[in-house]
Structure 1
Amino acid sequence: MIQQIAFIGVLAGTIYLVWKRVAFIRRNINLGKSKEVVSSPDRVRNMVLVAFGQQKMFKRPIPALLHLFIYVGFLVINLEVLEFLIDGVAGTHRIFADIPFYGILMNLFEFLAVAVLVSCLIMLFRRNVLKVRRLNMTELNGWPRLDANVILITEVALMCAILLMNASDQLLQEVSPHYAKTGTLFFSSFVMSILKGQSIPGLTIIERAAWWFHIIGILAFAVYITYSKHLHIALAFPNTYFANVAPKGEMQNMPVVTNEVKIMLGLSAADSAPAATPGRFGAKDVNDLTWNNLLGAYSCTECGRCTAECPANLTGKKLSPRKIMMDTRDRMEEVGKSLDSGGAGLADGKSLLDNYITREEINACTSCNACVEACPVMINPLEIILELRRYVAMEESGAPASWNSMFQNIETSFAPWKFSPGDRFNWANELKK
């Protein structure tokens, strides 16, 4: 009874903390501007193939295989966690033990537990010993690197707890009718040899301690991921659904500006111009971006595939698409905490541009969409970069001088080069000679 009350209290506390954090994240995402999303089969297909099917992960086979084991293990082992939850609330022990094929299922769970354990150890080795470049870049210094290691070490500890619990449980099955028969469990049977010298009270303590460690670890993990990059476990699904399905490279024009250009070119009537004008051209802070951009920032896995493919970064420029998303998320967190404490929020004298993302970074972008193509959960850092550049160019007239010359040439000559439109095809005359 005491264990039941304690477990119900821990469970209720976990639900409250997760709910509170989810509300905080939801409010932060809603700081962004509204954006109409039209449902389509393409969106459903993206969610099924990319988020659930891990389609884009397999461009890198080795990390994809490791991630697949962890992903499948996370999904399937949660079925055992369901048994933990019911046992904890009802005060039972292995409530599903009487269902057919229970032993087979438990062996499957143990296989996945070992696969997760080995995969996490290899990932720790890749991060901290091999020091894979994309996993050890400057934007990961401090908390991001610690966060990744904490999660991997926690996963290893949780998987070890499952094997230890099952091993002590099997030994107790031989001497106590309270412990339901599971049959032989292959992987935990190797751990049994270590525990065979233990007394019955000792085995009981080990079994209960491992059970509590695992379930509290899972509940703590549920709270922790809402503060971690591992929030993508949940947000990858809505992010892939709401991701831009337009062809890559198609820029989102501002309707007001587009209409004015059409009027100047005689392609639209003046009375068709919208009455409302935008409050700001482009984006200076997170509230100038769309909620979809902000959802992407919270969905970022910090895997670095975008940065690893970025030609600007590869040639030594300061631009890192991963950092763009991390900075956007950090700015949202700062604004959200300020609002919760009664502070100034967005009026705190800071902004996403300059205080988080520098102009040197956004000017280095070639708009090639390599980062968009590389992202395993369809995040679009380019949209944020373009909106920040649009603000600098249209609100501040602060674009580089060479860019301003190009803009002027396009406006007057309809081409980036400074020559008359009538002379545009003079080069072709040379071909006739």
Structure 2
Amino acid sequence: MQIIAQILFAIALVAGIVFFARNVKRLIRNIKLGKEVDRTDNPGERFAKMARIAMGQSKMVRRPLAGALHIIVYLGFIIINIEVLEIIIDGIFGTHRILSFLGGFYNVLIAAFEILAFLVLVGVILFWTRRNVSRIKRFWNREMKGWPKNDANNILYFEMVLMVLFLTMNAADYQLQLNGATHYTSEAGIIGSFPVSQFLLPLLDGLSNSTLIIIERIAWWAHILGILFFLNYLYYSKHLHILLAFPNVYYSKLTPQGKLDNLEAVKKEVELMMDPNADPFAAPAEGEEEEEPEKFGASDVFDLNQVQLLNAYTCTECGRCTSECPANQTGKKLSPRKIMMDTRDRLEEVGEIINKNGKYEDDGRQLLDDYILREELWACTTCNACVEACPVGIDPLSIILDMRRYLVMEQSAAPNELAIAMTNIENNGAPWPYNQMDRLNWAKEK
């Protein structure tokens, strides 16, 4: 019977890891659909920023309550899962609490895990209350319906269940140790290291050892299978940021937020025009294919760079960007969070086409218009409030600007006010409809 359990455990473990590896491979493939961008400069500064923001949660604590709860849940959940290493060893070799030979140090570890599990449980319950009872506005925007809303709650329920299973497993284990049950007596040295689960013992009072073993084994199996399921659920969830926050912050911009990047495609065109020896109509050299003119700006995910696509997958959907957006606050359709969610949804749509056909085949859809409306793009004031607010270094503004560039430079589809201003700049050297010679007339007025 034991060997069967070990085989089943090995199968579940391998299946979970293989499925996770497949999802990671697809994730990397999808991100690489974007244009390459060099963000390898200043590695020391990048590591420091990653340590400060991703690991140190420096932006999260700007909102103290949510920040403190997030730190407890995040660190607690990660640290508790250190015990997964022991569970994996026990599952493969058929042992039980194999690390108990560490004696007093093991007692301290188990006690710390239990306290953290309790704090995580409390934190998750408070998060659920803030979202569903207090109904904080940023969690109920128009884009937070259907799957996004359900996903947020699913994760909270899942974490609650995992913590309860962990404490239940320990409580049953503790009671079996106290009863001197076979296979549990070897861990007698760790009695007293269950500061939280010991309060669950009254619920187990009077149960036979065989019943306690069933409870302990069910909780043990459900806990490890739940973790494997959670690991693979991440790819489909906003909680993918657990894995991607670190690289996302590392590859974020180091330049001042107000500094705009020059379009490489425009730079090449200008260089061509400025080169007196260049022949824009020259035929390609023998053996070379004529290059398709590079698109100005972005209309689909292929036109965005890889960091922008990484941003889309990293979005936590917390809504801090949207709650800080002045355009959104005044009732306009723009929501920076929706920009990132739409980009990820379109990228996933493209990925599914590749999964099905082995390559991308034009589906007649694109990010612009089919997902992100022009009204949203032109509502942006380019104030960078969304970039500053994001706790994991996401830059929605860069996507907005690239799509605006496409509208203006490829489609000549700027709003009328902007078109007038650009015409005035071309004719008068300023956005106002006044001749340059008349610019100082105001100074003559008394």
Q: TM range, normalised to the smaller chain?
A: over 0.9
Q: Report the number of matched residues.
A: 428
Q: 1:262, CA displacement in angstroms? A: 8.1
Q: 1:270, CA displacement in angstroms? A: 4.4
Is contact 2:6–2:94 with CA below 8 Å preserved after alignment?
yes
Q: 1:131 aligns with which of 129, 135, 139?
A: 135
Q: 1:231 aligns with which of 240, 249, 258?
A: 240
Secondary structure of the structure 2 residue equivalent to 1:368: coil
Aligned-partner Cα distance in 2 for 1:54–1:425 = 52
**Paired residue for 2:214?**
205
Spell out the pairing of 1:1-400 with structure 2 (5 A cutoff): 1-40=3-42, 41-99=44-102, 100-174=104-178, 175-179=180-184, 180-181=187-188, 182-184=190-192, 185-258=194-267, 270=276, 278-342=293-357, 345=360, 347-400=362-415
**Greater Cα shift, 54-63 or 179-188:** 179-188
Structure 2 residue runs without a partner (length 5+): 283-290
Deviations 1:187-239 (A, max 9, x none): 10100111021100000000111101110100100000111110000000110
Is contact 2:334–2:379 with CA below 8 Å preserved after alignment?
yes
Residues 82 and 239 of structure 1, relative CA distance in 2, 3 Å threshold:
same
**Greater Cα shift, 272-281 or 247-256:** 272-281
Aligned-partner Cα distance in 1 for 2:293–2:437 = 36
TM-score of the two chains, using structure 2 as the length reference: 0.92
TM superposition outliers: structure 1 runs of 4+ over 6 Å = 272-277
Secondary structure of the structure 2 residue equivalent to 1:303: coil
Q: 1:365, CA displacement in angstroms? A: 0.5
Q: 1:386, CA displacement in angstroms? A: 0.6
Is contact 2:265–2:296 with CA below 8 Å preserved after alignment?
no
Structure 1 residue runs without a partner (length 5+): none
Residues 141 and 73 of structure 1, relative CA distance in 2, 3 Å threshold:
same
Aligned-partner Cα distance in 2 for 1:199–1:31 = 59
Secondary structure of the structure 2 residue equivalent to 1:34: coil
TM-score of the two chains, using structure 1 as the length reference: 0.94
Aligned-partner Cα distance in 2 for 1:210–1:90 = 19
Residues 75 and 424 of structure 1, relative CA distance in 2, 3 Å threshold:
farther
**Paired residue for 2:433?**
418
Q: 1:253, CA displacement in angstroms? A: 1.3
Deviations 1:233-279 (A, max 9, x none): 00001100111111111111124434666898xxx654599998852
Aligned-residue CA RMSD in angstroms?
2.0
Aligned-partner Cα distance in 2 for 1:86–1:422 = 83
Q: Which amino acid in structure 1 is aligned with residue 142 of structure 2?
A: T
Secondary structure of the structure 2 residue equivalent to 1:186: coil
Aligned-partner Cα distance in 2 for 1:429–1:45 = 56
Aligned-partner Cα distance in 2 for 1:126–1:217 = 25
Secondary structure of the structure 2 residue equivalent to 1:239: helix
Q: Which amino acid in structure 1 is aligned with residue 367 of structure 2?
A: L
Residues 397 and 106 of structure 1, relative CA distance in 2, 3 Å threshold:
same
**Paired residue for 2:287?**
none
Aligned-partner Cα distance in 2 for 1:62–1:318 = 29
Q: Percent identity between the aligned chains?
A: 50
Aligned-partner Cα distance in 2 for 1:273–1:150 = 60
Is contact 1:28–1:332 with CA below 8 Å preserved after alignment?
yes
Deviations 1:163-185 (A, max 9, x none): 11111101111212522132211
Q: Which amino acid in structure 1 is aligned with residue 130 of structure 2?
A: R
Aligned-partner Cα distance in 2 for 1:170–1:27 = 47
Deviations 1:357-407 (A, max 9, x none): 000110100111000000000100001001111111111111111110111
Aligned-partner Cα distance in 2 for 1:259–1:201 = 76
Residues 384 and 273 of structure 1, relative CA distance in 2, 3 Å threshold:
farther
Residues 115 and 429 of structure 1, relative CA distance in 2, 3 Å threshold:
farther
Q: Which amino acid in structure 2 is aligned with residue 232 of structure 1?
A: H
